Amino acid sequence: ELLTHEQEVDLSKRAHNGDKQAFDTLVTSNLRLVVNICKEYRARGVPI
């Protein structure tokens, strides 16, 4: 699930202060976004 702006800000602050779970949540959420973007490019014939 994509994060809201408020969630991203909160998680970023917590991750900056050493909260590993917040860091992991940010990474996981962004990886899902990257995969979706890659799928769009792959559908257009760009090798990934």
Residue with tokens 């809201």, as numbered in its chain:
4
Q: Which domain holds residue 29?
A: 5-43
**Mean pLDDT, range 31-47, rounded to an integer:** 89
Count of domains forming the chain: 1
The answer to whether residues 13 and 6 touch, using CB atoms and an 8 Å cutoff, is no
Whether pTM > 0.75 for this model: the answer is no
**21 domain-assigned:** yes
**48 domain-assigned:** no
Residue 11 class from Cβ within 10 Å (0-12 exposed, 13-18 middle, 19+ buried)? buried
pLDDT of 7 over the 90 cut: yes
The answer to whether residues 26 and 8 touch, using CB atoms and an 8 Å cutoff, is yes
Question: Helix axis angle, 20-43 relative to 5-16, nearest 10°?
Answer: 130
